[in-house]
Amino acid sequence: MEKNKITALLKRVRENKITVNEAFMKLRHLPYEDLGFAKVDHHRLMRTGFPEVVFCQGKTPEQILDIFKALCRKNKKVLLTRVDGSIFRKIKKINRRVIYNAQARTICLDEKKPVRKGLVSVVCAGTADIPAAEEAAVTAELFGSRVEKVYDVGVAGLHRLLDSFKKIASSRCIIVLAGMDGALPSVIGGLASCPVIAVPTSVGYGANFKGVAPLLTMLNSCAPGVSVVNIDNGFGAGYIASLINRSAECRI
Amino acid sequence: MEKNKITALLKRVRENKITVNEAFMKLRHLPYEDLGFAKVDHHRLMRTGFPEVVFCQGKTPEQILDIFKALCRKNKKVLLTRVDGSIFRKIKKINRRVIYNAQARTICLDEKKPVRKGLVSVVCAGTADIPAAEEAAVTAELFGSRVEKVYDVGVAGLHRLLDSFKKIASSRCIIVLAGMDGALPSVIGGLASCPVIAVPTSVGYGANFKGVAPLLTMLNSCAPGVSVVNIDNGFGAGYIASLINRSAECRI
Amino acid sequence: MEKNKITALLKRVRENKITVNEAFMKLRHLPYEDLGFAKVDHHRLMRTGFPEVVFCQGKTPEQILDIFKALCRKNKKVLLTRVDGSIFRKIKKINRRVIYNAQARTICLDEKKPVRKGLVSVVCAGTADIPAAEEAAVTAELFGSRVEKVYDVGVAGLHRLLDSFKKIASSRCIIVLAGMDGALPSVIGGLASCPVIAVPTSVGYGANFKGVAPLLTMLNSCAPGVSVVNIDNGFGAGYIASLINRSAECRI
Amino acid sequence: MEKNKITALLKRVRENKITVNEAFMKLRHLPYEDLGFAKVDHHRLMRTGFPEVVFCQGKTPEQILDIFKALCRKNKKVLLTRVDGSIFRKIKKINRRVIYNAQARTICLDEKKPVRKGLVSVVCAGTADIPAAEEAAVTAELFGSRVEKVYDVGVAGLHRLLDSFKKIASSRCIIVLAGMDGALPSVIGGLASCPVIAVPTSVGYGANFKGVAPLLTMLNSCAPGVSVVNIDNGFGAGYIASLINRSAECRI
Amino acid sequence: MEKNKITALLKRVRENKITVNEAFMKLRHLPYEDLGFAKVDHHRLMRTGFPEVVFCQGKTPEQILDIFKALCRKNKKVLLTRVDGSIFRKIKKINRRVIYNAQARTICLDEKKPVRKGLVSVVCAGTADIPAAEEAAVTAELFGSRVEKVYDVGVAGLHRLLDSFKKIASSRCIIVLAGMDGALPSVIGGLASCPVIAVPTSVGYGANFKGVAPLLTMLNSCAPGVSVVNIDNGFGAGYIASLINRSAECRI
Amino acid sequence: MEKNKITALLKRVRENKITVNEAFMKLRHLPYEDLGFAKVDHHRLMRTGFPEVVFCQGKTPEQILDIFKALCRKNKKVLLTRVDGSIFRKIKKINRRVIYNAQARTICLDEKKPVRKGLVSVVCAGTADIPAAEEAAVTAELFGSRVEKVYDVGVAGLHRLLDSFKKIASSRCIIVLAGMDGALPSVIGGLASCPVIAVPTSVGYGANFKGVAPLLTMLNSCAPGVSVVNIDNGFGAGYIASLINRSAECRI
Amino acid sequence: MEKNKITALLKRVRENKITVNEAFMKLRHLPYEDLGFAKVDHHRLMRTGFPEVVFCQGKTPEQILDIFKALCRKNKKVLLTRVDGSIFRKIKKINRRVIYNAQARTICLDEKKPVRKGLVSVVCAGTADIPAAEEAAVTAELFGSRVEKVYDVGVAGLHRLLDSFKKIASSRCIIVLAGMDGALPSVIGGLASCPVIAVPTSVGYGANFKGVAPLLTMLNSCAPGVSVVNIDNGFGAGYIASLINRSAECRI
Amino acid sequence: MEKNKITALLKRVRENKITVNEAFMKLRHLPYEDLGFAKVDHHRLMRTGFPEVVFCQGKTPEQILDIFKALCRKNKKVLLTRVDGSIFRKIKKINRRVIYNAQARTICLDEKKPVRKGLVSVVCAGTADIPAAEEAAVTAELFGSRVEKVYDVGVAGLHRLLDSFKKIASSRCIIVLAGMDGALPSVIGGLASCPVIAVPTSVGYGANFKGVAPLLTMLNSCAPGVSVVNIDNGFGAGYIASLINRSAECRI
């Protein structure tokens, strides 16, 4: 069925009924595979140039395995987020080349290693922010960015931060993760000349309210150039940073 | 005094005591002018390549005028945000070339018209979102971006949105503003292949809670590639979009 | 005792002391059975034409079994919601015809299969919304509606949604479930010409706040025709949709 | 331009290139008029069978007048909500047949009086809820429903409510408005056998939080059959009730 | 030491240095026993005429046992709240006359059975409210009130409530517990002529927010005569009701 | 019509068809007068023994005057709350015996001065709490309670509070009002042996959140015997205190 | 009366009935003057060594004048906070030596100029924080501290802050005020070796929520040594800082 | 590398290129050790005169052990907070002199017992506040303060509190911990003449919201002199109190 649609479309192109541009626009939006409980999208890569990603939290193991099977048949790059080791052991039986990052809780399939380009930096305030930071880093790398990591440079020890800043000063995008007071993106936003993607983490206690405090801090950043994603959303930050990084790349 | 610092620095460069790179790093952070109640930063342009911006809400008219005078002595581009017409009439007596945008509530001084490059699109869901949208557009233009505006294309009338999408499909960054349900960035995030900066607006009533509802919607966007700034923060969105747009520009 | 009340009422009807209408009004509200910890209502069916429903969360297994026994003595249709498999195994010993839906976490007794009429559609944004969606579907079917299901059509992939919309365009009511940004009801509300019942789900993370974000989104829907029920309340949505569906049916 | 699109479409119908059904689907979504700051939708009536509505809060008087002019050229029924008397005086100069309801803060243009059918009831708990109740009633009437109003029957005086209930017992939909504790929809939900649309109002003081308290009450209604719209959203309730009422009507 | 204080006080009375009234005032506030981690108050009975109560949540088993031992040496009535069965088994070894109520999660020592007087009614909306209702009932009985219980009479089934109301119409105080919409106290407040103590319970799901929804409902009761205690605070309600009940009793 | 109902009822009593008790129950709930926008309840006095009260906030001056006229035709005691001086001047023209309390913002009609009995105390923490305190005091007095006022005795000056406590120690109920930290009811609850009705006031700034902070404090009072009414709800507190006070009175 | 108490106390000292220490303890808590609506405390100075302070928000002009008159009869130092110019003009007629600070909105009477000692620094992030900063500075000076002010040194311009830090490095206490992201206290807390008192201000827009965002940031400061006062509470910060500063002073 | 920096610095001092003061400033901020996942700061002691502290919540056991090893090589005093017994057993194998406080959940290494000076008091309202109180006490002692503990003196039993107050009247700083209503700091703030550090605890139930209620109470304290730290943050309070206590000490 899907095939018919595409064939028909291409015929109309050949017959000059629609322009090539229009056909591309349509192709970008048409095809996907229906598993019943999920509609798997094989053309995302065509549309965004990026791998398919599965957010696994709230899905059953069976659903995750079925989706993965469908994806790895037609994609060379797949990212599963929010998975634990038990899922990994099952996925590995399907495709042995997957890689598990226990801190990031990600599984990556990356069958054609990219030449990683540009620079996305991942900076976090404390040791407890590392899981979200790793999720961001894994994502950015799989999506084709060179990544530099700077961890445990919270604003209470300004000298550590200033020391480390030099090596990330040429980033095209800086991802900054912080829990507790969430003050780090404001400080880095004041130092950097590239966009900052701020990720509040649910690290802290009491009036941190599982990340609400740093979320509000970051939305209110007194430094411009800071935009914010959801609490603990390392993947989202890595994805956006890759879009920005690629944007510079593409136009060389 | 400021001069002495800079002179000393340059001497050290000449004597090879520090490298040119180090000197530049230092220069980017040093100089500003102290008005007592405010420390005016003349080197922001050097640091970020961008004009100086004054957020006027909460400042007295006297303070705004003093800051503007200090800035326009040494800058060719100045942006005042959140100002009303009465301030404009006073500012105009200081420098006649300022331009007031009543919807955006901005005053711009732009003494060397830029060649506007790239493409930043500003999309809003409803007529009442236009003030924040205009603030974003004015900012992006002053900061050197070519801007395309698409207004009143909320998700309840999907055909209007899809119709308009073609003309912004090649944007390097899309700013999306919405109040009420704040659903527009999720839909555009699914269509676009560039980063989306989402701006919740305080438009709506009742359980909108002055923008909290669309803010949460946008932070939870089911489409990746969406990051969020503060409620009604058109300026912030315009600034970040310009950073992203310029990033692609610089590297040509 | 209950019997006496009803007998007395009917005598008064016979003696023309009250009209038939008045008697019906009274009958609709009188009888129930007192189990001590619960007052079981056998006349709900008479009152609403619908089966009795037991919301099991927060009740002990013993209470659930006692209530079920009391109900199945006098009703042909019973629905238990928020039950797990261990309750099911016990209920099954009381009445073998009950059916368990593990995703929906419901137990249905339906001793006279209805001719299902009209059309209620159940649409959900993601795979993780399926449990609440199934609860809605099970409810609507037990209450006599024909049900069409469309799952995993979130607004980030608009083409999937538009593809699927045709088969539900003739619905008398559409139930739309979404977590994360909760944007789907706004989009469907703009496409549909029947009422939309929106169900926020607690799917998502961080600033989703266990369903608060999509709840607010839906209350603020920019499309009219959308009303909202409690977070994850699939049953409530299925019930209302059936009322609406039946309303059209009755008057043929 | 718009015309061209439609012509082209119809040609394709004549030539059997698309079916009549498909053409109708397309027609329902295509045409609107672009005023720059707003995209006025003339085919809403075709799509939903309902008048065009303008939510005026947050729009300038000029914008409201321009939109109204555009609409009343091509529509026989127009509803403006959230308008005050000063707007009315200006609108009246454009079209003398408009009617202003000062409590509801609505302006109606209704050039072909409908035969009002079915029954939608509007019930409110206190005198201070009347503005939102009137907005609901005006809407439901303009959209073709017969309306019965029952005001000031809060649950603290149960005898008033029970007295009044008889005259609304045959409603196809009951709109229930309440501020303060918001308990009325739960009680009416237990009595009624049709859907209840609950409207929390911002009436009350202190811990009412401008309607949040009754909003939560209503979302948690212990009676099924209750769905909820935004705080003070009388229009939304009147619109949905009309959809439900019409649904029963259409199928006679 | 404590003894010295009291002796000294009495001497001063004997010597007419202070009046008997003054001495009583002082006696009411002086004595307690210091266990280090807790200061056990043996004179509460003298001060309020009521038994000593220990709120056990957040205390270690050892602390509970030590406090109980200290109390039961000098008091004939002791109430422990928020205890589980494992604590009960240990307490029982200290004093065999204690009684455990598993639903209420209370342990009572009541060595001189009171003549229970007056009437305090405990009314709850649903089966899941029973634990808090039982805590209230146990408390009111231990503090000397006759108690009538009416359970599962939520407002969605008004006929059950009106049926049951007669037997509690002569109460001196009515405790009303409800989760979900929390509407019951408003309805009973409109029927009753005595004070109503409303107890929100954490029963419900989604936008109930663990009792916040019914808490707000109750604070906003449209019926006067309703005051509110903390979520699930059955003990607090039973205590206040007993104060009110006793107040009428004492003055006969 | 109303009259017919009552006549019919009484006839049935005379004919022994219903008992006197039943007739009284019915009488307590039947009669009221319908003004269209409001249903005025003349039998509240019969039902509760208390005057009719009109909460004027959110009502138009015309509505208030109409309701007052209806009430003062048949009642000797009427209380209007939340009124300003301009309403008073109009009300005075209808009935010259009304009394205005500008701090409490109340209008009282009290044509048969009661013998005030018992003791209700009104205690407030600061000068800014006086308006709500006066509303409570006016209410309690009109409803037949003797009232003792103790103002400006916040917990930061414990000596003032302890000094004043003696004169209220014999209260049957103590109303305690506080803004800011709301700590006063906890302290008084520990000293008093009668029920405490706590009234949070919206006095304070910043994180007071218009009374939310003291509301939460009071709901969490570590002293038992404290129940809470809505923010600034002096009337509610005065009403409940009068119920409690009367309860002791009636049974002499 | 007050006098009698004190005389009696002193006699008991002379007669060795109580020790001097005990007498001092008692004296510290006894005397105040009762104005009816307020209880004026003349011995606060004795108790804390500090001037009397009147928080004027929420008090009527008459109340403020009466309290001021009572205070200035017996005190050499008085501080009124949250007053505007119109109050000042009236106060000035009572005592010509009062000084008004329009930014801080304070009135000071300081009839014996203190030798200001130690060092309290007042640091704020932006120009709009100055009103609260001035309130803190005025307070600290009146209470005997030498004050150093550093304004407009937000974290987005780290070089300004580091430049200024030297002159406050020897402070005994640093008051840090910030709105928006509230990040400044965390950074200063990491640099300073004395206690930091953080004051969130209601400066910012949107998701600042009138100071809630910086309040949460500060409570979650990743630098230890930071404690927090209420939003905009400059007075509170100045008071605590003076306690800390004096503490060091006293013990020389 | 670190060494080189310091050497270079000292050379510049010797050569009179920078003053001793400047060198000290720099030294205070430079050195730390990079473990990859954490940057361990050996010079904190030099900078603040205080031991290094590790907040262990959210760190893996391996990370805690590695950090501890790095610290105890170069420090004589180390504090680990939020640790459980299993960590303690592992830490003990590294250094046998560590001490575990199970209530406080702290591990202390203190190889040169300090002469404890001054007086910091730790006061808590209830038995369940003891864990946070012990954390505060352990911290203050390790940081060199003499500590007095007063537990279980909530405001509901004012006599216990007043009894205990004498022994802490000479404190240089009082730490006050309370859950539930959080009223204790306001009362102590009114009695004390030194700074009060208030610690809200997550003790309570229902509308306590895990410490939010006492947090708000404390921020709104009607007694000046009270500042607040995060919920359950005993460590933070102990740290600040030690800064204040030391401040008085240093200047003797």
Q: How confident is residue C251, by pLDDT bands cut at 50, 70 and 90? A: very low
Q: How many CA atoms lie within 13 A of B52 on its CB side?
A: 22
| Beta-carbon separation of C32 and E127 below 8 A | no
**CB-based contact (8 Å) between F58 and chain H?**
no
Q: With the CA atoms of H238, H244, H246 and H250 taken in that order, what torsion angle do they form, in degrees rounded to the nearest 10?
A: 170
- Following DSSP, what letter does each residue of H146-169 receive, concatenated? EEEEE-S--GGGHHHHHHHHGGGT
Q: How confident is residue F162, by pLDDT bands cut at 50, 70 and 90? A: confident
CB B94 within 8 Å of CB B70 = no
Measured from the Cβ of residue G166, the count of other Cβ atoms closer than 10 Å reads 11
Q: Report d(CA F184, CA F192) in Å as an integer.
A: 12
**CB-based contact (8 Å) between G63 and chain F?**
yes
Strands D99-101, G99-101: pairing is unpaired
Nearest CA in chain F to G67: F127
Q: How many residues does chain C have?
A: 252
CB C101 within 8 Å of CB C134 = yes
Mapping DSSP onto H, E and C, the string for chain E reads CHHHHHHHHHHHHHCCCCCHHHHHHHHHHCCCEECCCCEECCCHHHHHCCCEEEECCCCCHHHHHHHHHHHHHHCCEEEEECCCHHHHHHHHHHCCCCEEECCCCEEEEECCCCCCEEEEEEEECCHHHHHHHHHHHHHHHHCCEEEEEECCCCHHHHHHHHHHHHHHCCCCEEEEEECCCCCHHHHHHHHCCCCEEEEECCCCCHHHHHHHHHHHHHHCCCCCCEEECCCCCHHHHHHHHHHHHHHHHHCC
Nearest CA in chain E to F224: E236
Per-residue model confidence as pLDDT tens digits over E185-230 = 999 999 998 999 999 999 888 888 899 999 999 999 999 999 999 9
Q: Report d(CA D149, CA D134) in Å as an integer.
A: 9
**CB-based contact (8 Å) between G25 and chain A?**
no
CA triple G248-G249-G251, angle to 5 deg? 75
pTM of the model: 0.87
**CB-based contact (8 Å) between E188 and chain D?**
no
Structure tokens at F32: 């009221």
Share of chain F above pLDDT 70, in %: 79
| Beta-carbon separation of G247 and H53 below 8 A | no
Q: Report d(CA B175, CA A214) in Å as an integer.
A: 23
Per-residue model confidence as pLDDT tens digits over A72-93 = 887 888 999 999 999 999 999 9
B128-137, F26-35, G33-42, range with the lowest pLDDT: F26-35
The mean pLDDT value for C58-85 works out to: 90
Q: Report d(CA G173, CA G121) in Å as an integer.
A: 7
**What pLDDT does residue E45 have?**
46
Q: How confident is residue F29, by pLDDT bands cut at 50, 70 and 90? A: very low
Of residues C127, C160, C205, nearest to A63 (C-beta)? C127
**CB-based contact (8 Å) between F215 and chain E?**
yes
The answer to whether chain G touches chain F by having 3 or more C-beta pairs less than 8 angstroms apart is yes
Under 8 Å CB pairs connecting chains C and E tally to 48
| DSSP letter, residue D114 | -
CB D20 within 8 Å of CB D13 = yes
Q: Report d(CA C24, CA C225) in Å as an integer.
A: 34
Q: With the CA atoms of F83, F87, F88 and F94 taken in that order, what torsion angle do they form, in degrees rounded to the nearest 10?
A: -130
Structure tokens at F220: 């969490």
Q: Report d(CA D196, CA D183) in Å as an integer.
A: 13
Enumerate the residues of chain C whose CB falls inside 8 A of the CB of residue B230: none
| Beta-carbon separation of H128 and E212 below 8 A | no
d(CA H157, nearest CA chain F) in Å: 6
In the complex, which subunits touch A with 3 or more CB pairs below 8 angstroms? B, C, G, H
| DSSP letter, residue F124 | E
| Beta-carbon separation of F191 and H158 below 8 A | yes
| Beta-carbon contacts of residue B25 (< 8 Å; ≥ 6 apart) | A166, A169
The mean pLDDT value for G131-146 works out to: 96
Q: Report d(CA H220, CA F210) in Å as an integer.
A: 11
Q: What is the largest CA-CA distance in chain C?
A: 67
Per-residue model confidence as pLDDT tens digits over E28-37 = 444 456 666 6
The mean pLDDT value for G172-190 works out to: 96
**CB-based contact (8 Å) between B57 and chain A?**
no
The mean pLDDT value for B169-174 works out to: 94
The mean pLDDT value for B78-85 works out to: 94
Interface mutation vs chain G, best among B6, B39, B45, B231, most G CBs within 10 Å = B39
DSSP reduced 3-state for B85:
helix
Q: How confident is residue H153, by pLDDT bands cut at 50, 70 and 90? A: very high
Q: How confident is residue B40, by pLDDT bands cut at 50, 70 and 90? A: low
DSSP reduced 3-state for B53:
strand
| Beta-carbon contacts of residue B100 (< 8 Å; ≥ 6 apart) | B83, B85, B88, B92, B106, B107
| DSSP letter, residue B206 | G
| Beta-carbon contacts of residue H78 (< 8 Å; ≥ 6 apart) | H51, H52, H53, H54, H68, H71, H72, H108, H109
Of residues A57, A59, A212, nearest to C205 (C-beta)? A57
| Beta-carbon separation of F152 and G41 below 8 A | no
Enumerate the residues of chain C whose CB falls inside 8 A of the CB of residue A210: 206
Enumerate the residues of chain E whose CB falls inside 8 A of the CB of residue C200: 206
Q: Report d(CA C125, CA C176) in Å as an integer.
A: 8
Burial of B195 (0-12, 13-18, 19+ CB in 10 A): buried
DSSP reduced 3-state for F152:
coil
Interface mutation vs chain H, best among G174, G177, G243, most H CBs within 10 Å = G243
Q: Report d(CA D247, CA D225) in Å as an integer.
A: 17
Numbers of helices and strands, H then E, in chain D: 10, 11
Strand partners, A174: A121, A196
| Beta-carbon separation of A29 and C159 below 8 A | yes
A2-16, D213-227, F149-163, F197-211, range with the lowest pLDDT: A2-16
Of residues G53, G166, G251, nearest to H248 (C-beta)? G251
Structure tokens at A31: 């095809």
DSSP reduced 3-state for C23:
helix
**CB-based contact (8 Å) between B187 and chain C?**
yes
**Residue showing tokens 């950074």:** G187
d(CA B239, nearest CA chain A) in Å: 6
In the complex, which subunits touch E with 3 or more CB pairs below 8 angstroms? C, D, F, H
| Beta-carbon separation of F181 and H209 below 8 A | no
**CB-based contact (8 Å) between G250 and chain A?**
no
| Beta-carbon separation of A217 and G212 below 8 A | no
**CB-based contact (8 Å) between A205 and chain H?**
yes
Q: Is the pLDDT of residue G42 over 70?
A: no
In the complex, which subunits touch D with 3 or more CB pairs below 8 angstroms? B, C, E, F
The mean pLDDT value for B232-242 works out to: 96
**Residue showing tokens 């509308």:** H207
**What angle, 0 to 180 degrees and rounded to 10, lies between the N-to-C axes of helices G184-191 and A158-165?**
100
C14-18, D226-230, F123-127, range with the lowest pLDDT: C14-18
| Beta-carbon separation of E227 and F224 below 8 A | no
Of residues A153, A158, A205, nearest to H57 (C-beta)? A205
Of residues G172, G220, G239, nearest to H247 (C-beta)? G172
Residue F154 phi, psi dihedral angles, 5° rounding: -60, 160
**CB-based contact (8 Å) between C226 and chain B?**
no
Q: Is the pLDDT of residue C240 over 60?
A: yes
d(CA B137, nearest CA chain D) in Å: 14
d(CA D84, nearest CA chain F) in Å: 16
**CB-based contact (8 Å) between D166 and chain C?**
yes
Q: Report d(CA A86, CA G162) in Å as an integer.
A: 50
The mean pLDDT value for C21-48 works out to: 56
Q: Is the pLDDT of residue A32 over 80?
A: no
**CB-based contact (8 Å) between B127 and chain A?**
no
Nearest CA in chain D to F60: D128
Of residues H227, H228, H251, nearest to G248 (C-beta)? H251
d(CA B130, nearest CA chain D) in Å: 8
Q: Report d(CA G129, CA G202) in Å as an integer.
A: 8
Distance of CA H135 to the CA centre of its chain: 8
d(CA F106, nearest CA chain H) in Å: 28
Say which amino acid occupies E73. Answer: R
Q: Report d(CA D236, CA D102) in Å as an integer.
A: 18
**CB-based contact (8 Å) between H132 and chain E?**
no
d(CA E163, nearest CA chain D) in Å: 14
Q: Is the pLDDT of residue A51 over 90?
A: no
Interface mutation vs chain H, best among E33, E39, E202, most H CBs within 10 Å = E39
Per-residue model confidence as pLDDT tens digits over F201-246 = 998 888 888 999 999 999 999 999 999 999 999 999 999 999 999 8
**Residue showing tokens 């008697």:** C23
Q: Is the pLDDT of residue D35 over 70?
A: no
In the complex, which subunits touch C with 3 or more CB pairs below 8 angstroms? A, B, D, E
**Residue E181 to residues D199, D209, E177, E211: CA-CA distances in angstroms?**
14, 16, 11, 9
**CB-based contact (8 Å) between B57 and chain G?**
yes
**CB-based contact (8 Å) between B47 and chain G?**
no
d(CA F1, nearest CA chain E) in Å: 23
CB C57 within 8 Å of CB C82 = yes
DSSP reduced 3-state for A182:
coil
Q: Report d(CA A204, CA H58) in Å as an integer.
A: 8
Structure tokens at H19: 């003053």
| DSSP letter, residue D210 | G
Under 8 Å CB pairs connecting chains F and H tally to 119
**Residue B208 to residues B126, D232, G197: CA-CA distances in angstroms?**
15, 12, 35
d(CA E112, nearest CA chain F) in Å: 22
| Beta-carbon contacts of residue A205 (< 8 Å; ≥ 6 apart) | H57, H230, H231, H232, H233
